[in-house]
Homo-oligomer: A and B are copies of this chain.
Amino acid sequence: MKRVVVIGGDAAGMSAAAQASRGVEPVELVVFEKGDYTSYAACGLPYVVGGEVPDADRLVARSPEQHRANGIDVHTAHEVTAIDLDGCTVTVRSLVDGTTLRQPFDDLVIATGASPIRPPFANIDAGGIADLHAIPDALAIDAAIRDRSPRRAVVVGGGYIGLEMVEALLRRGIAVTLVEKLAQPMATLDADMGARVADGLVRLGVELRLGVGVEGFVPGADGWVQAVATDGGEVPADLVILGLGVRPNIRLAAEAGIAIGPSGAIATDARMETSVPGIWAAGDCAESLHRVSGRPAWVALGTHANKQGRVVGLNVSGTDARFPGVIGTAVTKVADIEIGRTGLSEREAAASDLDAVAEVIEGTSRAHYYPGGSPMAVKVVAERGSGRMLGAQIVGGAESAKRIDALAVAVWNEMTVDEFSQLDLGYAPPFSPVWDTPLIAARRAGERAAR
């Protein structure tokens, strides 16, 4: 029986293992996970801090025991330290007793995930400075809030995790300053849409320090952070959350000679096979095709991890499967601000050598006469001439972000913005205006693309 070793027991690795355990060809499945948890929803971590999720264990979709009951040989607290491609073995160290052993494999699944970026800021190891990447991080932040009742927090970085942590800290009654090196939060949005997010944050009472670079941290006598040192002066803080993004964990693969792609993640083909036959990669460590730019891209998201893991699981167990790629869809919220994006921004289109036009339209989530609607702004990006929809961005109130899905399906199918504007979408007064804002934005983008 083929022996499949999986490195990493979270979304991608365990999806691969679970799928392979039900495959048409029986395989032996061995998983090494360096942490204590398997199959947990990292995307839920901010809500553990915010209190929406009262118990971090609820994030665990399947425990190691549950996986074992399904015939998957899961070893937590076991770190793979090397891959030997010639010998078809991995070196595994037990984090419990320090012992090391070699494990043979026929197929190998690399699902090593990503790690938070921690620049060499001065005193970054002071107390009260936290990443949020795994369950212990969330528990540590929660404990710090309980123990020390911080009054002022600084969130460094205005991306998804940063903004979600802004919400979590506000919910805990802590005043929040957001320090972001760029001139806008949410760098995956264009500047005009990022400005709308910034306006919303200010409305929520967040102090924004945009275009401000962090230089280090100022600890107090007890070693706990007191302030963030920036190129714009010191910002007082009893608690600092680092939301500086993540990097793919590629060291093991790179050291073994497996190709790393132009995005910096492990290169894969459509079957999620790496440059070495029988070696697969999935999840936050893996590269995939961006269907709009046609270029390799690295997008670390739980949905892709699950889907890629499933594709790998099928491929190692006798069913041919493909991962069709990504288009950069993402949604998030900060209190009542919803954000969605898909495809390429204007900035990304330019970087992909595409000649793009764009249009932003403001509207509401419901018919103007129906109560309870929220404002929203929808930006549609189209290719000049062809009118192909390249991407879209939404910033608005309740009921706005998931409208990105219809736009995402359109981007996926390379629809023109004109055709999109004619689509038969669901309409009733409690759900949208008769001309929903994405349709109008697409129509106007089409007029601009045709000029």
Interface residues of A (CB under 8 A from B): 11, 41, 43-44, 47, 52-53, 58-59, 160, 301-304, 306-307, 323-333, 340, 342, 367-371, 399, 401-406, 408-410, 412-413, 415, 419, 422-432, 434-435
Residues B324 and A429 in contact, CB atoms below 8 Å apart: no
A439 → chain B, closest Cβ, in Å? Answer: 9
Partner of A405, one of B11, B306, B333, B403: B403
26 sample A-B contacts, Cβ–Cβ < 8 Å, listed by A number: A41-B369, A43-B429, A43-B434, A44-B367, A44-B369, A44-B429, A47-B369, A47-B429, A47-B430, A58-B369, A302-B427, A303-B424, A303-B434, A324-B419, A325-B424, A329-B425, A329-B426, A333-B430, A399-B402, A405-B425, A408-B424, A408-B426, A409-B409, A410-B413, A413-B413, A413-B415
Residue of B nearest to A40 (CB): B369
Q: Which residues on B sit within 8 Å (CB–CB) of A330? A: 426-428
Residues B434 and A367 in contact, CB atoms below 8 Å apart: no
Residues B434 and A412 in contact, CB atoms below 8 Å apart: no
A350 → chain B, closest Cβ, in Å? Answer: 21
Name 9 extra pairs, CB < 8 A, besides A43-B427, A333-B428, A409-B410: A43-B434, A306-B435, A307-B422, A324-B419, A324-B422, A327-B424, A330-B426, A330-B428, A412-B424
Question: With A41-B369, A306-B434, A434-B306 in contact, is A426–B406 under 8 Å at CB?
Answer: no
A104 → chain B, closest Cβ, in Å? Answer: 32
Q: Which residues on B sit within 8 Å (CB–CB) of A427? A: 43, 301-303, 329-331
Partner of A401, one of B52, B401, B426: B426
Partner of A41, one of B59, B409, B412, B429: B429
Residues B413 and A426 in contact, CB atoms below 8 Å apart: no
Partner of A406, one of B306, B405, B430: B405
Q: Which residues on B sit within 8 Å (CB–CB) of A160? A: 428
Q: Which residues on B sit within 8 Å (CB–CB) of A332? A: 428
A281 → chain B, closest Cβ, in Å? Answer: 17
A94 → chain B, closest Cβ, in Å? Answer: 30
Q: Which 3 A-B pairs have the closest CB atoms?
A: A331-B426, A409-B409, A405-B406
Residues A434 and B329 in contact, CB atoms below 8 Å apart: no
Residues A59 and B423 in contact, CB atoms below 8 Å apart: no
Residues A423 and B409 in contact, CB atoms below 8 Å apart: yes
Q: Which residues on B sit within 8 Å (CB–CB) of A435? A: 303, 306
A412 → chain B, closest Cβ, in Å? Answer: 6
Partner of A434, one of B41, B53, B323, B369: B41
CA distance A404 to B402 in the complex (A): 11
Question: With A403-B402, A406-B406, A426-B405 in contact, is A434–B333 under 8 Å at CB?
Answer: no
Residues B408 and A408 in contact, CB atoms below 8 Å apart: no
Residues B423 and A11 in contact, CB atoms below 8 Å apart: no
Residues A367 and B43 in contact, CB atoms below 8 Å apart: yes
Q: Which residues on B sit within 8 Å (CB–CB) of A370? A: 44, 47, 52-53
CA distance A324 to B420 in the complex (A): 10
Question: With A413-B413, A434-B43 in contact, is A425–B401 under 8 Å at CB?
Answer: no
Residues B424 and A304 in contact, CB atoms below 8 Å apart: yes
Q: Which residues on B sit within 8 Å (CB–CB) of A367? A: 41, 43-44
Residues B303 and A425 in contact, CB atoms below 8 Å apart: yes
Q: Which residues on B sit within 8 Å (CB–CB) of A404? A: 426
CA distance A399 to B327 in the complex (A): 24
Residues A328 and B402 in contact, CB atoms below 8 Å apart: no
Partner of A402, one of B11, B47, B324, B432: B432
A47 → chain B, closest Cβ, in Å? Answer: 6
Residues A323 and B422 in contact, CB atoms below 8 Å apart: yes
